[in-house]
Amino acid sequence: MSYALLNSIHGTADLKALRPDQLPQLALQMRNYLIETLAPIGGHLGAGLGVVELTIALHYLLNSPRDKIIWDVGHQAYPHKILTGRLSGMPSIRQYGGLCGFTKRSESEHDPFGAGHASTSISAAYGMAVARDLNHQENQVVAVIGDGALTGGMAFEALNHAGAHDNKMLVILNDNEMSIAPNVGAMSSYLARIISGKSYTQAKDTAKRILVKLPGALDAAKRVEEHVKGMITPGTLFEEMGFRYIGPVDGHDFAHLLPTLQNCTHLSGPTLLHVITRKGLGFSPAEDDPETWHGLGPYDVKSGLPHKSNGKPASYTQVFADMLADMADTDDRIVAITAAMPGGTGLTRFTARHPDRCFDVGIAEQHAVTFAGGLAASGKRPYVAIYSTFLQRAYDQIIHDICIQNLPVTFCIDRAGIVGADGATHTGMFDLAFTRNLPNMTVMAPRDEAELRRMLATSLTIDGPVAIRYPRGNGYGVNLDDVTPLPIGQAEIIEAGEDGLVITVGTRARDALQAVETVRREDHQAMTLLNLRFIKPLDEQSILSHLKHGKPLLIVEEGIAAGGIGQQIATLALTSGWSGPFAHLAMPDAFPAHGTQAEILRDLNLDATGILARLRQLLA
């Protein structure tokens, strides 16, 4: 289709020049543009399709960047990027050197707050509203949060705080799962316009001034209002928290959305506008299966099918999920927990076989960990499957509720290391450093999917906290028959030699092996390659027995260098009296860019080529 109207929008000023009757056509073009542009590269499609009209309405009425629009998570910010001068960059989104897949302050002045993790928008928006008032300014502050992100306790902490004060701010609840309001129609939209309108609010304020002088009258009137509104709107909860509730409103109908949103911008104090949208609207596969189409790789526009993986081996996530389900077949103590990511962590497979033993707690990682602690204290063996970057949000609970009490909770840390297109907000670069320092914790990292299965079996033999980290992506297609537990704390010798020692963590072992084999074949240097397996307890005996005085020591780990296992091994080597050429390949004290996993590993010298180059430097 033609994108003439969309191509005329180079910024918000161009949008404001349109007539209101042109906005539906712009929405149609934007929706089709997103579907076609993301097809060859993938991305977060469904969320963006659901907020096209809402995004247009916000930028049509507000004046960004003076007015602040904070998008929770950022998955739904693709239309926002288009309207704020980044249309030409959309084919590069989440690609190496291209646009970020989330809002990013350094990318545009229209991104007032960076996002990538959920439930942060209301806190950030309230901070901006308070700062505005302290500075005696008058700009609008709007937070857009989905009903999924509202399952995170942090969102309610922010609502509780903001609702207790009079700072003007608008929270837009983008309800796309019908979890709060199952019905919306002309009557509810009409009521939302009336409730948000100037006449209603002035009458309410006048009545309040009169009734406050009559003992008990104001409380009685408030109860009557809440009772009446409670029969037609689901906003009593938000009203009780101090927010003026408006809605629900059809988020795809400009006739209802524009006037209601306009009214909300004139209201004082904290206001919540409840907008009903449909995730994936305009692309039937995304509408029918919103979880799959939330974020995915390349797909075919005509068939609506993701491109086939061409016979690639199973992913680490799939191998984990199948193994855990197998273990649960014979051990009824095993339960699985996820924080709103049953598909991403593979637990939909577990749920199919053990539906009564799989728990999705919502976007509530802190609760997930302490919930697991309660299960473990009652004789169960919980397995908490969470992405590395999200587990950071529950660090205190890991320490206080699990490790101090030495409870047998296993943390299955998915997406550990480089994740690729999602970039800094999703890179699992800290889990090695923050788990290996915890008393009572056993930490493991498999070099392939077969070792992942053995580590899961090993976890059941450990009566205490366990962390198993594994990467995003596919395994190597190795044989998966061996599921015998590993000897606790014992490293594996992959190659033996007398010319130096290479120590690896997790899947970096495969690339390190290529480097070691190349050095043996081309440079006639025989190195020992040690796969740690256990980061904690550390196999100090194996390390010391293979250190050769004056010979190189190279440590390779896909995690942050500061606080990583490399520092501990270096200290061990030096205190033992060893000296020789030394190098530590790890992630630097900086957040990585976004791109493919291969591109980022290359930039960090953590691929086979980088490891080989550093090894040859040490041997020179």
At 213-246, the pLDDT tens digits run 666 665 655 555 555 555 445 678 899 899 999 9
Is 290 in the same domain as 336? Answer: no
**Residue 478 is encoded by which pair of tokens?**
């190795």
Is 144 in the same domain as 37? Answer: yes
Dist CA 398 CA 366 (whole Å): 9
Instruction: Catalogue the E-assigned strands of 304-427.
Output: 334-338, 358-360, 381-387, 410-414
**Residue 574 is encoded by which pair of tokens?**
């030096």
Q: Specify whether the backbone of 85 is left (phi greater than 0), alpha (psi in -120 to 50) or beta.
A: left
For residue 389, give every residue at least 6 positions away whose Cβ sits within 8 Å of its Cβ, in sequence order, or none: 116, 117, 415, 419, 425, 426, 427, 428
Q: How much is the pLDDT for 231?
A: 46
Is 353 in the same domain as 255? Answer: no
Q: How much is the pLDDT for 477?
A: 95
Is 127 in the same domain as 275? Answer: yes
Is 280 in the same domain as 368? Answer: no
Residue-wise pLDDT for 551-602, tens only, equals 999 999 999 999 999 999 999 999 999 999 999 999 999 999 999 999 999 9
Q: Cis peptide leading into 65, omega within 30 of 0?
A: yes
Is 321 domain-assigned?
yes
Pair 126, 52: CB distance under 8 Å? no
Is 505 in the same domain as 396? Answer: no
Q: CATH number, domain at 532?
A: 3.40.50.920
583 beta partners: 554
End-of-domain residue from the set 237, 259, 294: 294
Phi then psi dihedrals of residue 268, to 5 deg: -90, 165
CB atoms under 10 Å from CB of 167, counted, come to 18
**Residue 187 is encoded by which pair of tokens?**
């009557």
Phi then psi dihedrals of residue 472, to 5 deg: -75, 145
**Residue 519 is encoded by which pair of tokens?**
């050095």
Task: Give first-to-last CA distance, the chain, whole Å.
Answer: 61
Dist CA 160 CA 454 (whole Å): 46
Q: How much is the pLDDT for 303?
A: 82
Is 158 in the same domain as 74? Answer: yes
Tally of domains in the chain: 3
Is 504 in the same domain as 434? Answer: no
Q: Which of 563, 542, 391 is nearest to 470 (CA)?
A: 391
**Residue 372 is encoded by which pair of tokens?**
């697991």
Is 391 domain-assigned?
yes
- The rounded Cα 590 to chain-centroid distance in angstroms is 19
Is 113 domain-assigned?
yes
Is 310 domain-assigned?
no
Q: Give pLDDT < 50 ranges for the chain.
A: 178-188, 190-191, 231-232
Is 28 in the same domain as 140? Answer: yes
Is 264 domain-assigned?
yes
Is 287 in the same domain as 139? Answer: yes
Is 86 in the same domain as 21? Answer: yes
For residue 563, give every residue at least 6 positions away whose Cβ sits within 8 Å of its Cβ, in sequence order, or none: 433, 434, 437
Is 538 domain-assigned?
yes
Catalytic sites, residue numbers: 279, 365, 393
Pair 357, 328: CB distance under 8 Å? yes
Is 303 domain-assigned?
no
Is 464 in the same domain as 509? Answer: no
Is 587 domain-assigned?
yes
**Residue 497: domain span:** 492-619
**Helix, strand or coil for residue 554?**
strand
Q: How much is the pLDDT for 179?
A: 40
